[in-house]
Chain A
């Protein structure tokens, strides 16, 4: 069986066109990531001594690491005079080589400090208070619902309490790269297109050459081949997602020029303030890749099932592509809304998993609260397994061969 899987993998995915597409998509992805940096980051203004990039990293030495009262006072000592001097908007707006400024202009100095140091540090510093407030409210709610006899609400609030109590951000670090990394969706489309291309010919290529009939005459044909194809596709999907997840991370690290902040908790990114998990950013990168793999795998299995019934790639490609676009558009447009079920049943949520991990949301199952990301993973796996079962049931069998075997067995027993 292992050999069969290996052959199927080589046959389906180790081809020149696949390699070309993979390289092309990887290059496009790296360009896009670089474009993200230049479009969105204010630190993409070069290495001039008065550029924001240079000033930021000069100051970084002073404020990175554990947040202390001394660092906060030092930062406010630098920021407050600038804020006061620019409050009435009468300071000079001339940009040049004002020797008393860091970036050449007093407004620019205030803005870089405010955006990159004061606001994040204020958020980091206050996070403990905010989260303890949430934990306190959750505890009160849990006690209240316990009195009311509402077990589900009590359990839900207990989970929230456990999740939020003890949350704090003790160290300051650069987190802009991770903010954009976690909001980056472009590679998901590339992954889906690549998987679609790989998967679409899994069954179709043999049908186009009528090889499918010939395969049935082989002892390893029929269900065994189908199983091998499913395993090969699974391996292919895992490889593609791991490749692009790694490429995304490396691309962002190279474009932004740093991986600083990997040790910050996930909720240090302000869009993840109500994150559903307590983990560090580097752990989340891995978690995200795993979740993404499950989402792509489920979608791929559905693609595979659709392609089973056709003799050429035209209809399955258009149907799969159309279905994927529908899932993407509905997933993206529903991602901001509070209907948790729509996020759970759409496997695309697992690809842009910030919609699941970024918010603490629950669904009730037999009186137990299940977090939305867990429910989405379970749902996707179940759907994937059902689709695999359907493929195995629907795959062609060599009835003639089986009948002959039965006859042989009958003869032997006689």
Chain B
């Protein structure tokens, strides 16, 4: 027994196994917290609204649920239309305020959870493909927990650090021969094996529990008894297991993978007796198949890697249709249970053989002369290379900046024009008539139609525009993520015509690195659908059909703002002005997050400048009024019923309702 204690002391303290285990667990936790993003962003964003519906349709999709969802979809569509008609009728004076309030209250109740409905309806469409084994549930927690399918490098490095020195340290100082001459010689190696197995078990179990705890706390892991096919990652799986069973199986497989790798490393160290060879073999046995082989091949090899990955033992076939030759190509072939059991059996056998060999090599027999043991002297931990992925943010404060989505761009004497044939954008000098390419890089869009300018925003002396660029590399089926789309915000100095990229982001959720496909969540998908944007020194606000998304320029965090985008959107550097769903002009302060509704301003259209708001009043016969930004000093400025109002530094431009005539009003009248 003292021999066992000495071995524990040697491995855990002198060889720093305990320290490595602690570092691995700490690093795993930190990495998990830092790198995690929800698989379905909308589900997280509208969690309460989604849960409201989930309470009604939780679990198996019955006919009753289907009917309910279809009826709800029709009810919401109907309510949206009614709301719009009701508003029109009210402002046209066809119904009284009490009638309007009563009805709008009823409609409001229907639309109260509409964002959550969008999410659950998407899930319903997925479930409809195979309602038997796909249930309604919150997927973000489970997707994070078992839908990753990528190698845990921290665990891999941890095992390398833990296992390699166990025998190699003895060989490097020739202690092995000395041990073999002692009475406890053979026991020493079995003690080592037991300690390492315990260490690897501790690491794997702890990591699995940490992950479970993390996802349970962050998203919740409800309904563990639902079929694993409820997650799209396992959509085509033929295995009848529940989510929780899936988690336990994957954790156990990973545990076995860890033990397999540990045994393999010890076997190599006993055979090669050298650190470098052991480490290289360990790294090669995992990394080379991981990046060099297809997933289908990986999961059919008796190596530690498939068990360390684990997830895809439960995934179904992934088949892609090759558009060019019309063939179906199997991207991933499901591993049936028999194959999995055979693979597991072979691997267990290999492990047993490795253990037997390790013990045999350390059997007590007379060997060469021993040498005095010298302590190894590795005492410090290496500093890791920290590469900051610098975001290209600009923290200069913008001054006197006003954005009106309906207004033309006032580009310091330039006018933005678009070529009807090439769709290229140009800057036309209003005084000289000279035209310049808007995008200053001569290469932009020259060789590809997938490079285009999307939206503009002027903040003198800068003109900002967004570009969308799609690049593809290897275009054969089976390598889906070989094309990427990136959206960038470019800052063009209108005085010097120098440009620089201030924000850039890849929007694809599926990525590929050395053929390893992985998911990053759909966080940035909205960028592909933005049609306008504005910005201040801290954030960029992208306007899409489903709302405004605020992106922090330095932290790159996103916030979805509940602002309807069907009307004009204005921004004065601090507050966003918009019409709420009742057409009441509303102000949202971006720094405090407070919303203020101008109850007395029901606008058909509006615009702002640095001091005032100009609006077409619905309640005053569509006449144009102005007021201060606090809503006071209301003043009639146009006595012709109008449809639209815009403004720039010089004047206010009104589109008359009757004849469509454009009227210019002087600001200083």
**With A153-B498, A186-B514, A314-B161 as contacts: A144 and B478 at CB distance below 8 Å:** no
CB neighbors of B among A288-333 (8 A): 306, 310-319, 321-323, 325-327, 329-330, 332-333
Contact of B440 with A141 in the complex, beta carbons under 8 Å: yes
Whether B471 sits at the interface, judged by CB under 8 Å, is: yes
Contact of B442 with A160 in the complex, beta carbons under 8 Å: yes
Contact of A314 with B168 in the complex, beta carbons under 8 Å: yes
Q: With a CB–CB cut-off of 8 A, which chain A residues contact B501?
A: 338-339
Contact of A133 with B287 in the complex, beta carbons under 8 Å: no
Q: How far is the CB of B55 from chain A (nearest CB, A)?
A: 40
Q: With a CB–CB cut-off of 8 A, which chain B residues contact A339?
A: 390, 392, 501, 504
CB neighbors of A among B305-345 (8 A): 324-326
Q: With a CB–CB cut-off of 8 A, which chain A residues contact B69?
A: none
CB neighbors of A among B455-502 (8 A): 471, 473-474, 476, 478-479, 484, 486, 488, 496-498, 501
Whether A402 sits at the interface, judged by CB under 8 Å, is: no
CA distance A273 to B449 in the complex (A): 13
Contact of A312 with B376 in the complex, beta carbons under 8 Å: yes
**With A180-B474, A312-B378 as contacts: A150 and B496 at CB distance below 8 Å:** yes
**With A150-B498, A317-B279 as contacts: A160 and B443 at CB distance below 8 Å:** yes
Whether B284 sits at the interface, judged by CB under 8 Å, is: yes
Instruction: Choose, from A193-201, A241-249, A251-259, the stretch at the interface.
Output: A193-201
Contact of A312 with B169 in the complex, beta carbons under 8 Å: yes
Residue of B nearest to A315 (CB): B378
Q: How far is the CB of B113 from chain A (nearest CB, A)?
A: 37
Encoded as 1 (CB less than 8 Å from any A CB) or 0, chain B from 267 to 291 comes to 0000010111101100110011001
Contact of A28 with B292 in the complex, beta carbons under 8 Å: yes
Whether A284 sits at the interface, judged by CB under 8 Å, is: no
Contact of A144 with B164 in the complex, beta carbons under 8 Å: no
In-complex Cβ contact of B291 among A21, A186, A319 (8 A) = A186
Whether B67 sits at the interface, judged by CB under 8 Å, is: no
Instruction: Choose, from B381-389, B568-576, B649-657, the stretch at the interface.
Output: B381-389
Contact of A333 with B513 in the complex, beta carbons under 8 Å: yes
Contact of A107 with B326 in the complex, beta carbons under 8 Å: yes
Q: With a CB–CB cut-off of 8 A, which chain B residues contact A134?
A: 442-443, 446
Contact of A164 with B442 in the complex, beta carbons under 8 Å: yes
Whether A130 sits at the interface, judged by CB under 8 Å, is: yes
Whether B377 sits at the interface, judged by CB under 8 Å, is: yes
Encoded as 1 (CB less than 8 Å from any A CB) or 0, chain B from 124 to 155 comes to 00000000000000000000000000000100
Contact of A311 with B376 in the complex, beta carbons under 8 Å: yes
In-complex Cβ contact of A323 among B325, B378, B384, B513 (8 A) = B384
Encoded as 1 (CB less than 8 Å from any B CB) or 0, chain A from 106 to 146 comes to 01100100010000000000010011011111101100110
Contact of A330 with B324 in the complex, beta carbons under 8 Å: no
Encoded as 1 (CB less than 8 Å from any B CB) or 0, chain A from 44 to 83 comes to 0000000000000000000000000000000000000000
Whether A360 sits at the interface, judged by CB under 8 Å, is: yes
CA distance A317 to B504 in the complex (A): 35
CA distance A310 to B161 in the complex (A): 14
CA distance A141 to B474 in the complex (A): 34
**With A193-B283, A342-B389 as contacts: A325 and B292 at CB distance below 8 Å:** no
Residue of A nearest to B375 (CB): A311
**With A310-B378, A314-B161, A334-B389 as contacts: A135 and B292 at CB distance below 8 Å:** no
**With A310-B378, A342-B390 as contacts: A40 and B479 at CB distance below 8 Å:** yes
Kindly list the 8 A-B residue pairs having the minimum CB-CB distance in the complex, ordered from nearest. A313-B275, A137-B442, A273-B447, A319-B382, A138-B442, A40-B476, A317-B279, A134-B442
- Which positions in B face A, CB cutoff 8 Å? 153, 157, 160-161, 164-165, 168-169, 172, 272, 274-277, 279-280, 283-284, 287-288, 291-292, 294, 324-326, 374, 376-378, 381-382, 384-385, 387, 389-390, 392, 436-437, 440, 442-443, 446-448, 471, 473-474, 476, 478-479, 484, 486, 488, 496-498, 501, 504, 506, 511, 513-514
* Further contacts, 17 of them, CB under 8 A, given A273-B448, A323-B384: A127-B447, A134-B446, A150-B498, A189-B291, A193-B280, A200-B279, A271-B471, A311-B378, A317-B279, A317-B283, A321-B279, A323-B385, A326-B385, A327-B387, A332-B513, A336-B471, A360-B443
